[in-house]
Amino acid sequence: AQKITQTQPGMFVQEKEAVTLDCTYDTSDPSYGLFWYKQPSSGEMIFLIYQGSYDQQNATEGRYSLNFQKARKSANLVISASQLGDSAMYFCAMRDQSGGSNYKLTFGKGTLLTVNP
Amino acid sequence: DAGVIQSPRHEVTEMGQEVTLRCKPISGHNSLFWYRQTMMRGLELLIYFNNNVPIDDSGMPEDRFSAKMPNASFSTLKIQPSEPRDSAVYFCASSRRDRTTDTQYFGPGTRLTVL
């Protein structure tokens, strides 16, 4: 069974500093995708970044990068140069990309990030 | 490009009333998902459509919930009769199944309150 673990219920960071949000996963499928979503207080779910299990390089999207350590089954999100607008709940999610349920996203419980001025 | 559109954004109703939530997926997307988010249970997949056909409705809580997708650009989630425990944020998401990443893009959500 799939499982996503986000061990940090809450994180604090000073504006302009970098922060790492942890995510570990468990799957027996060799082909899978990892996603990070941001949910600000306004409620919408915003897609941030994707990492495929066979991707050779860590994914990057602007200030977001994914520290993908396949052997450790971790996919930590790194936000560089934090901004006040980064304050939000962040969800890690995984989808197995083979098998009959390859459409299902499994979400972690989320990490609430607060950026302090 | 327009993202996933959901309406209404907020709905307050009384127990026993029928509630209909609406979703317009991103143009060109062939998969549509309805999720429910609560503090207690997090994000739950309710139903998944592919090419307008319901593929997996195992997450629909009970017969009071029904979902339809009459065409590629419109879906509804109906609750009849509604109960206070249905209060939650309901998200619609869509994706392109023929893309490797198959990223799901979420709408803004409908915050439902059943009194």
pLDDT by residue (tens digit) across B78-109?
A: 999 999 999 999 999 999 876 667 899 999 99
Whether the pLDDT of residue A65 is over 80: the answer is: yes
Half-sphere exposure of B9 (CA within 13 A, CB side): 6
pLDDT for res B47? 96
What residues does B93 pair with on adjacent strands?
A: B33, B106
**Phi, psi (rounded to 5 degrees) for B63:** -65, -15
pLDDT tier for residue B1 given thresholds of 50, 70 and 90 = low
pLDDT tier for residue B76 given thresholds of 50, 70 and 90 = very high
Cβ contacts of B49 within 8 Å, gap of 6 or more: B31, B32, B33, B55, B67, B69, B75
Mean pLDDT of B40-65: 93
pLDDT for res A98? 72
Distance CA B53, CA B72 (A): 10
pLDDT by residue (tens digit) across A5-57?
A: 999 999 999 999 999 999 999 998 888 999 999 999 999 999 999 999 999 89
pLDDT for res A72? 95
From chain A, the residues in CB contact with B102 under 8 A are: 33, 95, 97, 103
| B interface with A, Cβ–Cβ below 8 Å | 31, 33, 42-43, 45, 48, 50, 55-56, 89, 91, 93, 97, 100-109, 111
pLDDT for res B79? 97
Distance CA A105, CA B43 (A): 10
From chain B, the residues in CB contact with A45 under 8 A are: 91, 93, 106, 109
pLDDT tier for residue B62 given thresholds of 50, 70 and 90 = confident
pLDDT for res B16? 97
pLDDT for res A110? 96
Of residues B9 and A2, more confidently modeled: B9
Neighbours of A89 (CB within 10 A): 17
Residue B95 CB-density burial (10 A; 0-12 exposed, 13-18 middle, 19+ buried): buried
